[in-house]
């Protein structure tokens, strides 16, 4: 992909490096990793106009370096990046650098398989291009609220199941269970509403937004993943299906 350079406020961003923009006093610091100069510029202008501090990178390698070496409140990540694709970058952030900064993927890939790959690598949200900037801002706010809630050190408990939000850790008795970011978010929703039936509509809205509305098997995919991990050592079922209604976290009847 050819190099490009676009004006971002008082600085520039190019495909061989990064930009440090004119920072505002806002505590919210966003990293944009996007190789399309028009999209990068529009995102920057929109976020800066709302008081956010913004850094940008136009390739995956530079974006990963910034994400690892600086502190950000949120990351907007394109999938089709030069140098390193967004899936690989996100996986390295989660698995190798152990960074839990909320990641919102921005991509034109709208197939269900692409979305599931994004969530499985550790993304917190997935927004298909083209999108309304106000929806993007709303999703950023949701992720920031969730992330700040995790920083409180709250531990959710249900029977032998314990979820440490700050450590992003789940234990069932003495057994530690690893979950992807989206699986963790889904389980947290169940643990905040134990013994309550959560409808499919509620799960779509609270976990995935409306992008998955027509692709009904995404919920089944994630419920199955939760059950496999929770029950892998012979533990009883905790997440039950109420056919035609939804799902519920409760002790096995």
Q: What is the pLDDT of residues 76-135, one digit of tens each?
A: 999 999 999 999 999 999 888 888 889 999 988 877 788 888 888 888 888 888 888 888
* Short-list 85, 93, 233, CA closest to 173: 233
User: In the chain, where do the E strands start and end?
Assistant: 5-8, 11-14, 18-20, 29-33, 53-57, 74-78, 103-107, 125-128, 155-158, 161-164, 169-172, 175-177, 198-199, 239-242, 246-249
The predicted pLDDT at position 5 comes to: 31
Residues 5-150: name the CATH superfamily: Response regulator (3.40.50.2300)
Most confident of 113-122, 141-150, 189-198, 214-223: 189-198
Indicate the domain borders of the chain: 5-150, 155-249
pLDDT of res. 215: 52
User: Whole-angstrom distance between the N-terminal and C-terminal Cα of the chain?
Assistant: 58
Residue 111 confidence (pLDDT): 79
Q: Is the pLDDT of residue 10 over 50?
A: no
Q: How far is 109 from 116, CA to CA, in rounded Å?
A: 11
Residue 12 and residue 6 in contact, taking contact as beta carbons nearer than 8 Å: yes
Q: Which CATH number fits domain 155-249: 1.50.40.10, 1.10.8.60, 1.10.3720.10, 1.10.10.10?
A: 1.10.10.10
User: Can you read off the two tokens belonging to residue 137?
Assistant: 């801002």
Lowest mean pLDDT among 7-16, 151-160, 167-176: 7-16
* pTM (two decimals): 0.61
Q: Comparing C-alpha atoms, which of 70, 207, 73 is closest to residue 147?
A: 73
- Quick one: DSSP state of residue 93? I
pLDDT surpassing 80 at residue 155? yes
> Looking at residue 153, what is its pLDDT?
66
What mean pLDDT, rounded, does the chain reach?
82
């Amino acid at each position: 992909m050819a190099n490009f350079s676009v004006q971002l406020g008082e600085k520039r961003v190019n495909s061989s490096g990064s930009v440090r923009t004119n920072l505002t006093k806002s505590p919210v610091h966003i990293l944009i990793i996007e190789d399309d100069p028009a999209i990068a510029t529009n995102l920057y202008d929109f976020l800066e106009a709302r008081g956010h501090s913004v850094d940008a990178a136009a390739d995956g390698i530079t974006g990963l370096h910034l994400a690892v070496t600086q502190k950000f409140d949120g990351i907007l990540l394109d999938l089709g990046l030069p140098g390193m694709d967004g899936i690989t970058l996100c996986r390295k952030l989660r698995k190798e650098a152990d960074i839990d900064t909320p990641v919102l993927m921005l991509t034109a890939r709208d197939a269900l398989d692409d979305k599931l790959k994004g969530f499985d690598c550790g993304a917190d949200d997935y927004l298909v291009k083209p999108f309304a900037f106000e929806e993007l801002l709303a999703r950023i706010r949701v992720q920031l609220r969730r992330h700040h809630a995790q920083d409180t050190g709250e531990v959710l408990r249900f029977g032998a199941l314990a979820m440490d939000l700050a450590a992003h850790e789940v234990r069932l008795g003495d057994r530690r269970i690893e979950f992807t970011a989206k699986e963790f978010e889904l389980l947290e929703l169940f643990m905040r509403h134990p013994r309550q039936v959560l409808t499919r509509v509620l799960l779509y809205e609270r976990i995935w937004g409306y992008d998955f509305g027509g692709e009904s098997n995404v919920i089944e995919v994630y419920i199955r993943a939760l059950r496999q991990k929770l029950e892998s050592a012979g533990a009883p079922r905790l997440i039950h299906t109420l056919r035609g209604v939804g799902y519920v976290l409760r002790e096995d009847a």
